[in-house]
Each structure stands twice: as structure tokens, then as C-alpha cells.
Structure 1
Amino acid sequence: MTKIIDILTNHDGDKPLISLEYFPPRSDVGVQNLHSRMDRMKNVLSPAFTDMTWGAGGSTAELSLDLALHAQNTGHLANLHMTCTNLGENVDPKEAIYKALQKAKDGGIRNIVALRGDPPAGETEWKAAEGGFNCALDLVKFIREKFGDDFGISVAGYPEGHPNAITEIADPSTLTPEELARSSHFDGKTYCCLEADYKKEMDYLKQKVDAGADFIITQMFFDVTIFTTFVADCRKWGIQCPIVPGIMCINAYAGFRKMTQFCKTRVPQSLDEKMEAIKDDAEAVKEFGVTFGAEMCQGLIDSKTTPVLHFYTLNLEKVVYGILDKMGVTQNALAAADEADAHSQIAKGSAWARVGDKVSTQYGEGVVVEQIASTGVAKIELNKWIMAGGQKPVAYLQKGQYTKIF
């Protein structure tokens, strides 16, 4: 069975390798539509490998595995994400992970992305399951202990620092040039992974690689220099494995803003200004997503720091095809695009929303102002009415009684 690391290390072609990442959709219709899209993109792009994500808190564990097995069985080289989370009620977390890995192996999957994972729906802090793993490093060690070299393993890298290691900076003038280069700005505030925290991040990344990870896939970024600096830093730390850039496709203004703020991602000023200028024109945003993506990807290839471009597709195809057409990697791939089913590509479990998200309820639209983790209830400030004192009414709703607005 093929391991991705062998493809990366043996690649010496003129064109970059392409890899794709998908998430499990919420509905059965969405799953069937994703099957069709994955088939199309395989035929058009011949991806080197295909990632399938694993939902927050293990919420999509079974579906993620099923989709990865489907990918493997239909000609993709599946790279299954797996997190340090429980896979069910009243089960031993390590035993559950072992069974999932064994099922993947039995189905021909030989590539795993070992991750800590995000908190479950309704929670803002990640906590280890009792008797389970504390971090991705534990998971890497477990896979190597139980399965030896049966699996190729990749891990996450964070060129700007993990979001948990990024802090608000009261006085940006105190930042060093290196810190300033990876700082981000939102709502008049500056955020940065300070040097001491960045060094801890790099030390931990080396531990993951030394424990058995074969290569690194990065968090999204929108500044090529951020990636090239990260690669150079990895080499200084003695991390010599391939480093794959994670490229977030810009498909829509709202999604772009939401993801960059959630991850505290650096947005260059020119990109920020352009997105603001075209935010009300959905087609213009997609067209710009192609132009910007092609420029960034070409910059990555020209830097000679990576053999592969890894696209976070968001279960869509137009922007990916457009980028590769513009770069000359493909010829008129965009003609094969079909996004008539885009409305069905909503992530499983995404009915839950974080504080600040816009949601739709039976009482009208509103904004989540509080998530009560102990009960799973969301406090939602409704926009439909304004009371005498200027206040907006609030509703306390269970998950399933509201949906995020995309």
C-alpha cells in the first residue's frame, strides 16, 4: 500500500503535486453530492492524495472513516484525519481509536493525519477524555506503538503559532520584527504568537516528528513569506521532513472573515482592503479568490520549499480549478466545474455555532451571544424586534433549534 511520504520524497516532476481536503457533509444528499465532486476532481486533477477531516469532538468519526474508505476504494489515496477524542459514549477512548485505525487499515488506508482536534460542540476549551490522549504527540506515539510502520503519519504545523498560543498584544510597538511579521489585526486589536511561545510550538513540532511523523501539513496562511520563514525555522530546529502548505480557498467573504478571525490568521493589508471592497459581490469574491490563490501558489512553487499544493477545498471546486488553470498546471479544468449542489455542502455538526455567529431561528435571525456548555443551550440575541429601551430580545435554544447562516 502506498504511503504519501514516498510520493513526496520521490517527486521530481516539473509540475507541483496537488492534494485535496474535504469535510463530511451534514446530510445524506450532501454525502452523495460530495462523492460526485470527489470523482470529478480526481478525474480532472489526479490528486497525489485526498484528506478527509474528522469533526470537532469526534462528531463525524464514523462518517469520516466511511468517506475516507469510499475515497480509497474509488481511486484516491486517502489521508484520514484522526483526533484525540472519544468515539462514543461509555467506551474506552484508546480502544475506540485502535478499532478505528484497524478498520482503516483493513480497508486499505495507510495514511493518517494525527491531530489533537477542536473542542466538541458547545465547548470552548479542549479537554482530554478520561483515560485518553492529551495531545497529538500521544496519538503519534500510540499509532507507532500499536501499528509500527503500517501507517504513514502526518501532523499539523502552525506557521503563525497555534491559535491557543496567540495572544492579544496591548502595545504592538513592543513586538520584534519576527513577531510583527506573523502578527494579525482584527477589530482594532493586534494578536501574535510571541517568541517564547513560538519556540515552544517549534519544540513540540519536533517532538511529533521525532516520535514518528513523516511530514507536516500547515494551518492556512495568506502570506507566502509566513510559510517560507516557517520552513526555514523548521530546518533550524532540525526538522527535515517535507512541509506541505495548507491553502485555504477564498470562496466567500463571510467564510473568509470567520475563519481568519477564528484562527487569528494574518491577513496582509492589500488582501484585507480588496476583500472589503468586493464583499457585497459574491462572484467578484470567487474571481478574486482565483487570482489571489494563483499568485500565492506560484509564489510557493517559486520558493522551492514544497513539492505539493494542498487545497482546503471547502467541498467546492471552482476556485481550485481556476487557480490551477491560471497557473498553467491544468488546461480549462474550470469547464468541468459544477457547484449547483453547493448548498448541500454544509459540515456535519455545524448547526452548533460559536459566540458571534449569525444564526437563523423560528423567531428570525440573530447572533449567538453565549454558549452554555453544561446544557448545550445557546443564548441568541434576536434582530427582529427592538424593545422600548433599545434592547434586543434573547432566546435560549437547544442545538437543532437554530442553524448558522452561511
Structure 2
Amino acid sequence: MGSRRSLSNTLFQRQLRGVQNLYDRMDRMNQLGPQFIDITWNAGGRLSNLTCEMVNVAQSVYGIETCMHLTCTGMPRSKVDNALKEAYKAGCTNILALRGDPPRENEKWEVDPHGFRYAKDLVKYIKANYGDHFDIHVAGYPEGCEDGTDPELLLEHLKEKVDAGASSIITQMFYDVDIFLDWVKKCRDIGITVPIIPGIMPIHTYAAFMRRATWTKCHIPEKWLSLLEPVKNDDVAVRDIGRDLMVELCQKIIDAGILHLHFYTMNLATATRMCLEGLGLIPSLEERTKALPFRPSLGLNRKEENVRPIFWKNC
């Protein structure tokens, strides 16, 4: 029993250190000036309590605006209700509503008999219960998704999610800007008018770059491969070349009139920082300096605080 208790305590301490390390990284990345930082949701919601706790701490303690991911996978309505209630109480105003992937032990996605079948159903439910409190973001797939659904049908589904009340679309990662811009035009042609925010995946290492591109089945331009392949074993060179390629991609997006970018950091700030520096989008020290002598909380009913009480100890 003693050895089992010791192992349990060790694992618990490791989890605590891991969570604190994640808070520290979020705090550092907040210096890059994002509108919000994503808190993801695991398949099946097994760590839903931790997700809700992290949203609460990020908002109330660190003063970081968050976007809580919420999926339909393994989520009965009662669990969705609890997650939304906790997000609301934490002061969170952004939800990314997803159908979600199946848990690792399941080959195919299955609807929870007491939950929601599609992301559009989740969007409708959030809108019906919380009105305009949450900006509800949904996923878009410029190059299709892994289940092989017909691209035209995916566009119809996306329109349904927007019509259900979605505030904006955040896309899957891509590396071919022409494919993305052509997909945006198709969205506009079928009457989708909400902001479309491109998903940007910075390049950290060649292996990770190829693995993610293969997993999402996104097209890699020949120019990119010809530049990255010869230096694939040199991580520094890969990051430098990757920065230039990503800056060029992002600049084309901005030049096309799309002024929001959604970076998939994978909890690593370096490559994202390099891209933002190349684009001239890092906030200055003056812009980051708060007028208040304390870090404001973003908890519910505390976002407008401009004073904080000071208690003097009686001597």
C-alpha cells in the first residue's frame, strides 16, 4: 500500500507541475497580444473538470481571455450544461463548438444518446441558452476532413453551423494559401458572411511539419518541400526557413483583406513569435504596459474593475 500511495502522489505532483508549466507558457504567450488563448477539450471529455478549471484560472487569476473548446463526443447534455455554466462563471466569452473526434478506443464517432449529434446542434443549444454572451466559433476545412466527406457537403454543413448562430469560422491548418483563398470565395458565394479565421501552424521541426501535413492531408507546395527537405535534420535552419514561408503565407492572407490569424502553437511559443515578428505584429512594450498597477481579472463581473482595495496590517 505504501508503494502504491507513493506512486499516486508522484503522479499527482507531476500533473500539478505540468499544469503550472502550461499556465506559465500561456502567460508568456499572452505577451504576444492575442485576442484569446485556446483551452482544448480531449475526446470524450474525460478531463473536462481540468479544462473548466484552467479556463477559470486563466481568466480570473492571469487575466487571459480564453476560448474554451467544447465537443459533442461522449458529452451528455448535463455535462455540456456544466461546462457552459463554469465557462460563464469564469468570465469566458468564447466557445469553439466541435463535433469532436472519437475516443482512441473507438474507430468511429458515435453520438451520445443523451447528447448532440452535430456541431450545429451544439451551436443552437448554446445560442438558445446564453444568447449573445458567447462568441461561438466553428471549424472549417479548406481541404476536406479526415472522414472523407464530400467538400461540397462540408460547405453545406458549414453554412448550417453559421445559420445556427456561429460568430466566426476557424479553419483547419493549411500550407497552400491559394487553396485557402479559393475556399473562402466558395464560402462567400453560398452566403457565409461571418469572419473566416485561417488556422496557421508554424513550422517547429521537419518531422512534425510532415507528420501534421500528412495527418490533415493538406497540400504542401513544391517550393516548400524543395527548401525544407535539404535541411530537414537541422532544426534551426528548418525554423528559419519555415518562418519565412509562414510570413509570406500570412502576408498574402492579410493582403487579401483577412486580418485575423489563428495560430496553432502546440504550447510552443518560439515559432509563433518568429512569425509574428516577421509580420511586425508583436505589441510594443508601451502597448503591453497596463495603466493599472495590478493585473485585471477577467472573471465574470470583474472585467471593468479599475480599483482594488488595499488592506493595512494593524501594528
Normalization by structure 1: what TM-score? Answer: 0.64
| Equivalent position of 1:5 in the other structure | none
Alpha-carbon distance, 1:332 to partner: 9.5
Q: Distance in 1 between matches of 2:158 and 2:210?
A: 28
Match for 1:101 among 66, 80, 84?
84
Secondary structure (helix, strand or coil) at the match of 1:34 reads helix
1:365-384 superposed matches below 5 A: none
| Alignment of 1:134 onto 2:117 | yes
Match for 2:273 among 300, 309, 321?
321
Residues 326/264 of structure 1: CA separation in 2 closer, same or farther (3 Å cut): same
1:156-305 superposed matches below 5 A: 156-165=139-148, 197-304=150-257
Q: Distance in 1 between matches of 2:107 and 2:226?
A: 30
| Equivalent position of 1:338 in the other structure | none
Q: Which runs of 4+ in 1 moved over 6 A?
A: none
Tell me, yes or no, if the aligned pair for 2:239 and 2:271 is still in contact at 8 Å: yes
Question: Counting strand residues as a fraction of each chain, which structure ranks higher?
Answer: 1
Alpha-carbon distance, 1:101 to partner: 0.5
Q: Distance in 2 between matches of 1:94 and 1:34?
A: 29
Q: Distance in 1 between matches of 2:18 and 2:243?
A: 24
For 1:271, give the aligned amino acid.
W
Q: Distance in 2 between matches of 1:199 and 1:299?
A: 25
Q: Please, which runs of 5 or more residues in structure 1 have no aligned partner?
A: 1-25, 88-92, 167-196, 334-406
Alpha-carbon distance, 1:138 to partner: 1.2
| Equivalent position of 2:137 in the other structure | 154
Q: Distance in 2 between matches of 1:206 and 1:292?
A: 31
Alpha-carbon distance, 1:250 to partner: 1.0
Q: Please, which runs of 5 or more residues in structure 2 have no aligned partner?
A: 1-13, 286-315
Alpha-carbon distance, 1:264 to partner: 0.9
Residues 60/259 of structure 1: CA separation in 2 closer, same or farther (3 Å cut): farther
Alpha-carbon distance, 1:331 to partner: 7.8
Deviations 1:219-275 (A, max 9, x none): 000011122111111110100000001101111222222211111111112222333
Alpha-carbon distance, 1:117 to partner: 0.7
Deviations 1:95-146 (A, max 9, x none): 1111110111111112111001111123332111222211111111111222
Deviations 1:339-393 (A, max 9, x none): xxxxxxxxxxxxxxxxxxxxxxxxxxxxxxxxxxxxxxxxxxxxxxxxxxxxxxx
| Equivalent position of 2:305 in the other structure | none
Match for 2:49 among 62, 67, 71?
62
For 1:116, give the aligned amino acid.
R
Q: Please provide the CA RMSD for this pair.
A: 1.9
For 2:97, give the aligned amino acid.
A
Match for 1:85 among 73, 82, 90?
73
Q: Distance in 2 between matches of 1:122 and 1:284?
A: 38
Tell me, yes or no, if the aligned pair for 1:119 and 1:127 is still in contact at 8 Å: yes
Tell me, yes or no, if the aligned pair for 1:47 and 1:76 is still in contact at 8 Å: no
Q: Distance in 2 between matches of 1:143 and 1:328?
A: 36
Secondary structure (helix, strand or coil) at the match of 1:218 reads strand
| Equivalent position of 2:18 in the other structure | 30
| Alignment of 1:307 onto 2:294 | no
Q: Distance in 2 between matches of 1:281 and 1:59?
A: 38
Indicate the larger mover: 256-265 or 96-105: 256-265
For 2:195, give the aligned amino acid.
P
Secondary structure (helix, strand or coil) at the match of 2:210 reads helix
Q: Distance in 2 between matches of 1:210 and 1:246?
A: 22
Normalization by structure 2: what TM-score? Answer: 0.81
Q: Distance in 1 between matches of 2:43 and 2:238?
A: 28
